[in-house]
Structure 1
Amino acid sequence: MEIRDLSLTALRVFRAVAEQGTFTAAAVSLGYTQSAVSRQIAAIERAAGTSVLERRRDGVRLTAAGHLVLRRATAALDEIDRMAREVSGLPDQGGTVRVGWLPSTGAVLVPLAITGLRASHPAITVVTREGSTPALARALRTSSVDLALISSAPPFRPLDGQSPPLECQTLTERSLYLALPVSHPLSRRDYVDVTDLRGQQWIAAPSGEDRLMGVWPGLDERPAIVHTARDWLAKLYLVAAGCGLTTVSAGIARAVPEGVCVRPVRGGPQEQRRLLLARLPGPMPEAVARVGEALRAAALETDLDS
């Protein structure tokens, strides 16, 4: 590979494509056109003398050469960023830890963990980003985040099927719940029978996205989805307005707005959800380990409250 032929822009574009999974998504995240992204990837492949991406109908995957290039590109970009901070007089950010999280963990668990860290390890800076479980798994693979809070549902398969497997620790394993308006007839009971969910109207995520908060799994009918929204708070305020029902994780049950009640569902398969703390295998820097401990402590606290 002729390193002199590669620009930092090409390396950043390649990392974005690997993380986002498609040229289109990478272009949007970087503010580039798709053709500009394609040109940068072509430059990488010319320098490498081989394909670094496998083009598939559902996006792209790294080839064996692509994995090697990505590791080297990430190390080079991190070093360039570190040098830029030093030259500009900014303090070393070796104590910065990047955490990815699902929307359902951002309401309670993540703020609780950051609050605890400020008291116990004030020198550690935590920066976060929200994403779906597949997006966060890709972010871990591309070293865009150090830790990720992700969800897993039965039968609890590996997150992305790539090698080596991501290291995952189960923080909580709890049942899925139903969120419904306090004015709804089903809210008068301590629990909802799954048979009573037939014919209900639902609020869910857009098609193809994580439906952790959406339609109750396994219904024996085509659900009537009357509203779609990515944001969990928007879903719950639609519930409060009487617009439909949605599912909710136990982790945010205590953060629901006024006008919403949360009930367990009985009957049918048991709908368990695991909250996992995931990372790449290998040695863990001290700051990352401390953040992991804070997230585990916060998960335990929210588990005791539920």
Structure 2
Amino acid sequence: MTGGPGGPGARRGARAPYLFVAPAVLLFVAFLAVPIGYAVYLSARGLRLTGGGVFGTREEVFVGLDNYVKTLTDPEFFAGFGRLALYGLISVPLTLGLALLFALLIDHAGSRARRFSRTAIFLPYAVPGVTASLLWGFMYLPSTSPFSYLTRELGLGEIPFLGAGGIYPSVANVAVWGGVGFNMIIIFTSLRGIPAELSDAARIDGASEWRIAWHVKIPLVTPALVLTGLFALIGTLQVYGEPTTLRPMTPEISQVWVPLMQIYRDAFLRDDLPLASAASVILAAGTLLVSVVLLKVTQRRASGGMG
């Protein structure tokens, strides 16, 4: 018999899970594990001039942790994180707050045109980041901005979108405009999973829609809020496209305005891949650390609340 515990059929059944998982594992190894391993390998290498004189040649040698030390002692690198923090203080709360507000409004029992509203709010997410940055950049430039045109006609002067006082809100606005819809869909999907009986019972008890949202809906969608918050935080640490696209339009954005811009400069303009790899590893490790801490803190609070 072939269907017994040790027969061919049983062996094929035991191999089936591995066959289904194999494509995902291969993709993970090829496009994530191998690049990460190569970046770590490169970060321990360095370019040194050998031979001396004008005819010396650059060779790649093992330098250990020198690139990490150089990166961690570079004031420009940490200044980029400071600018990133200011950018995140604007973009993350606005993205999550607007996403939650729109999700609650669409989930409201008396709301109309839900499909149209969801599509209209989500649509900016489908616009590529570079395209969105260009569109907003032209609306920021004094010569092409419709907002500055109106303020000039009113005698109020031009709005300094790309000036020293407005550069952070202007860059963050591009990310908020594109990211609200995606986060709103996640929160709205979580809201639709809440049993209607809970809201109905609260209404019978005389609770207003505001109190229902605050005391019933928002606590139950906390996991979705944590997930969207994590996405927004990771997106902030990896911001690159918006400031790079807007950089030719303003002197307020330098070549190393955020860490990823400095990594790009070191890798492709200075041809120093080992140094760029070390900075990339530090940025990736920092992102992972922040994500784990955020998840641990939220899980601890959730456990404390349940207790």
Question: How would you bin the TM-score normalised by the shorter chain?
Answer: under 0.3
Please state which structure has a larger fraction of its residues in strand.
Answer: 1
TM-score (normalizing by structure 1): 0.22
Please state which structure has a larger fraction of its residues in helix.
Answer: 2
More RCO (CA 8 Å, sep 6+):
2
TM-score (normalizing by structure 2): 0.22
